[in-house]
A and B are shown apart, each in its own frame.
Chain A
Amino acid sequence: ERVLFPPTFSVSEIKNKQRRHFMFLRWKQQQRKVGRAAPPKAIPKTIENQRVYDETTVDPNDEEVAFDEATDEFAPYFNRQTVPKILITTSDRPRGRTVRFCEQLATVIPNSHVYYRRGLALKRIIPQCIARDFTDLIVINEDRKIPNGLVLSHLPDGPTAHFRMSSVRLRKEIKRKGKEPTEHVPEVILNNFTTRLGHSIGRMFAALFPHDPQFIGRQVATFHNQRDYIFFRFHRYIFKSEKKVGIQELGPRFTLKLRSLQKGTFDSKFGEYEWIHKRREMDTSRRKFHL
C-alpha cells in the first residue's frame, strides 16, 4: 500500500488536487504527532549574527578602555566640568533646505547657535570659537542645495569626525509629527556602538548634549548604529503604562556614515587621522563593520 517516495519529494509537487489535499492532511497529522519532539526552530542567520568578529569590540568591564575614557578629551565633559556649547555652521552659500535644517538642528540640540559662514576659513574660526568658550563645532556641508556632509569637531583640541549625511528629512516632511521640540534638555540614547571606534564616536555624540536631561520634557534623541550607518531620530515619549510606551517623532531625522576620524581639530592637510574609510580595504566583506 505505502508508496515509497523519493526523499527529495514534497507534497506540493503532486498535480492532482484531491490527492494533494489528502497527502497534505496526512503530512499534517504526522507533523502533529511528531510535534513536541520535533527539532527546535532554527535561528535565522542575519547579517548581525554573522558579523565578522571585530577584535576592537569593547568589553563593558575592560579596564583599559575605562582608563582611556577617563583620560581622553571628553573626560571634562563626563566629569561635569564643562557645559556643551555648540556652533552650527554650513559651507559657503547655503541654500534653503540646508538653512532650514540648521535651524531645526539648533532647536533639537540645546545651547547651540547657528552662524553663517560667509567665506570664512575654518582654521580661523576655530581659535575664535575656543576663545568664546564653544565646546563643539558642527559644519554641515552642502551639495546642490541639499546637505550631504557633516563635520563634527570637539573644540578644545578634540577629535574631528567627518560624516556623510544622507536621507535628511525636515520636520514638515515627517508624517505624524508632533509639535515643535521644546527647550527642555532631551535624553540621549546611543545604540549599538560596540567597537572602540564606535565607542569614541558615541562619546562624541553624547558630549553634544548637556549632562542632565530634563525628564519633564519627555524628549529623547537617539543615535542608533546599524551596520555602520548611524540613524538619528528625535522623539517625544509618554509612558502609557508600565509595559507600554508611546513615541511620537518630532524634529529632523538623518543618517550618517563615518568617513574619517581625526585626532586634532579640523585640519585637512596636516591632521593626524585616526581612522579613514578606505573603500578597497574595508568594503571587501559584507559582514564586516567597523563601528
Chain B
Amino acid sequence: GRCYLYMKTIERAAFPRRLWERVLLSKNYEKALEEIDENLIYWPRFIRHKCKQRFTKITQYLIRIRKLTLKRQRKLVPLRRKIERRENRREEKALIAAQLDNAIEKELLERLKQDTYGDIYNFPIHAFDKALQQQDAESESESDAEREEDDDDDEDVGKREFVEAEDSELSDFEDMDKLETSSEEEQEEEEEVEKKASHSKSKGKTPLKGPARRKRPYIEIEYEEETEPSTKTKAA
C-alpha cells in the first residue's frame, strides 16, 4: 500500500474534477514526512500536524496488515440455522436409537463369554449352570410344598378345635423381658438376614419362608400396656 497526499484549494471549488491534487509519498517514512512538510508549506501548523499524525496511523496499520497476512488467518464460516437445528435433532434421535448402556453391557458380556478376560472373573460356567438347574428344581419343589401348605390351611378353615386359654399377657419383669425379647428378635432378624443373604449368594432365587425357617426355640411374648384407671372420687 502506497500513500498519497491529497490537497484541495478553494480556488478550485468550482471544478470538482480538479478539486483534489494528488502527490505520491515516498515509501520511506521520514522522507514522506518531509514531503508532506514541503507540500503543505504555507498551510497552518495545526493542519500539518494533524496530517502527519494521520499518515503515521495509516503506515502503522498497513504494516500490521502485512504482518497478519503472513500468519494464520481465521476463516469465519457462518452457521446455517436450519442445518444446525436439523443436526441437533438428528443427534438426539440417534442417541435414543443407540441405547448406549444396553449396547455396552451386551458387548462386555460377549467379551466375558468369549474369554477375553481370562481367569480374572471366576464365574465357572458349568458349575453355575448346574446350580441354576438345581435351584430351578428346588424352587419347583418348594412351590409344590407351598401349594400343599396352602391346601392344608384351606382344609383347616372349617375345623373346630378346643384350645386352652393363653396366659402370656402379664409378666412381672416387663422391661427385662422386653429387652431380652427385643435382643432375641434382633438376633433372629440378623440370622434371618444372614440366611437370606447367604441364600441369595448361593442360589438367589429360593423364596424364603420366614416363620417356618426359624430353628431356634422362640417365645412369643405379647405385652399389654395397662393404663391406670382414673380414680373416681365418690361423693362422701
Q: Do A and B bind each other?
A: yes
Name A's B-contacting residues (CB within 8 A).
46-48, 119, 121, 166-167, 187, 189, 191, 215-216, 220, 222, 224, 226-229, 231, 233, 235, 237, 239, 241-243, 245, 247, 255, 257, 279
Q: Binary interface profile of B, 69-88, with partner A (CB < 8 Å = 1, else 0)?
A: 00110000000000100011
Point out the residue from B97, B100, B107, B109 that lies within 8 Å of A48, measured CB to CB: B97
- B109 with A243: CB separation less than 8 A: yes
Residue from A226, A235, A247, A279 having most chain B Cβ neighbours under 10 A: A226
- A245 with B105: CB separation less than 8 A: yes
Point out the residue from B98, B105, B109, B111 that lies within 8 Å of A226, measured CB to CB: B98
CA distance A119 to B67 in the complex (A): 14
Nearest 9 A/B pairs, CB to CB: A226-B98, A227-B94, A242-B123, A226-B94, A229-B94, A245-B108, A245-B105, A189-B107, A229-B91
Closest A residue by C-beta to B75: A268
Is chain A's binding surface mostly helix, strand, loop or mixed?
A: strand
**In the complex, how many residues of chain B place their beta carbon closer than 8 angstroms to a beta carbon of chain A?**
29
Closest A residue by C-beta to B128: A242
Closest A residue by C-beta to B72: A121
Closest A residue by C-beta to B98: A226
- B109 with A224: CB separation less than 8 A: no
**Complex A-B: 5 CB contacts under 8 Å:** A166-B91, A227-B90, A229-B94, A233-B100, A247-B108
Check B46 for interface membership: any CB of A closer than 8 A: no
CA distance A121 to B71 in the complex (A): 8
Closest B residue by C-beta to A190: B107
Check B121 for interface membership: any CB of A closer than 8 A: yes
Closest B residue by C-beta to A228: B94
In the bound complex, residues from chain B placing their C-beta under 8 Å from that of A247 are 101, 104-105, 108
- B112 with A242: CB separation less than 8 A: yes
In the bound complex, residues from chain B placing their C-beta under 8 Å from that of A46 are 97
Point out the residue from A216, A224, A239, A245 that lies within 8 Å of B103, measured CB to CB: A224
Check B117 for interface membership: any CB of A closer than 8 A: yes
Nearest chain B CB to A198 CB, angstrom units: 14
In the bound complex, residues from chain A placing their C-beta under 8 Å from that of B91 are 166-167, 229, 255, 257
Closest B residue by C-beta to A286: B90
In the bound complex, residues from chain A placing their C-beta under 8 Å from that of B71 are 119, 121
In the bound complex, residues from chain B placing their C-beta under 8 Å from that of A189 are 104, 107-108
Point out the residue from B87, B93, B121 that lies within 8 Å of A239, measured CB to CB: B121
Given contacts A189-B108, A239-B121, A247-B105, 8 further A-B contacts (CB under 8 A): A167-B91, A215-B118, A220-B108, A226-B94, A226-B97, A237-B104, A245-B112, A247-B108
Nearest chain A CB to B7 CB, angstrom units: 42
Question: Which positions 97-151 of chain B face chain A at CB distance < 8 Å?
Answer: 97-98, 100-101, 103-105, 107-109, 111-112, 117-118, 120-121, 123, 125, 128
- B97 with A233: CB separation less than 8 A: no
Check B95 for interface membership: any CB of A closer than 8 A: yes
- B95 with A231: CB separation less than 8 A: yes
Closest A residue by C-beta to B124: A242
In the bound complex, residues from chain B placing their C-beta under 8 Å from that of A191 are 103, 107
Closest A residue by C-beta to B80: A279
CA distance A204 to B109 in the complex (A): 25
CA distance A257 to B91 in the complex (A): 9
- B103 with A215: CB separation less than 8 A: no
In the bound complex, residues from chain A placing their C-beta under 8 Å from that of B120 are 215-216
CA distance A121 to B125 in the complex (A): 57
In the bound complex, residues from chain B placing their C-beta under 8 Å from that of A48 are 97
- B104 with A239: CB separation less than 8 A: no
In the bound complex, residues from chain B placing their C-beta under 8 Å from that of A166 are 87-88, 91
Nearest chain B CB to A285 CB, angstrom units: 13
Closest A residue by C-beta to B109: A245
Closest B residue by C-beta to A216: B120
CA distance A215 to B123 in the complex (A): 16
CA distance A48 to B123 in the complex (A): 35
In the bound complex, residues from chain A placing their C-beta under 8 Å from that of B100 are 222, 224, 231, 233
CA distance A112 to B74 in the complex (A): 27
Closest B residue by C-beta to A289: B94
Nearest chain B CB to A161 CB, angstrom units: 18
Point out the residue from B87, B98, B108 that lies within 8 Å of A231, measured CB to CB: B98
In the bound complex, residues from chain B placing their C-beta under 8 Å from that of A242 are 112, 123, 125, 128
CA distance A235 to B121 in the complex (A): 18
